[in-house]
Amino acid sequence: MLPGEYKFTTEKEEHIVVTLGELQLQVPGGPWKKYSRGETAIVPAKVEFQLRIQETVAYVCFYK
């Protein structure tokens, strides 16, 4: 994913595994958290979350 700010909505719980680079993620009501290569962010179902990306990043999503 290229640098920028993005908003996504989840239907199911989403596990985001960072495979390259670093991203910042915020779920509603929570602080911005930084995730780097090898780390996993877990986003609850049925929420809108935000991503901030400063350099190209790659990640894999798994849905539960």
Strands, DSSP E only, in 1-64? 4-9, 14-20, 22-26, 33-36, 40-43, 48-53, 58-63
Distance (Å, whole) CA 27 – CA 50? 7
Class of domain 4-63: mainly beta
Output the tens digit of pLDDT for each of the chain's 64 residues: 999 999 999 999 999 999 999 999 999 999 999 999 999 999 999 999 999 999 999 999 999 9
Enumerate the domain spans of the chain: 4-63
Burial state string for 29-47 with b = 16 or more CB within 10 A and e = fewer than 16: eeeeeebeeeeebebeeee
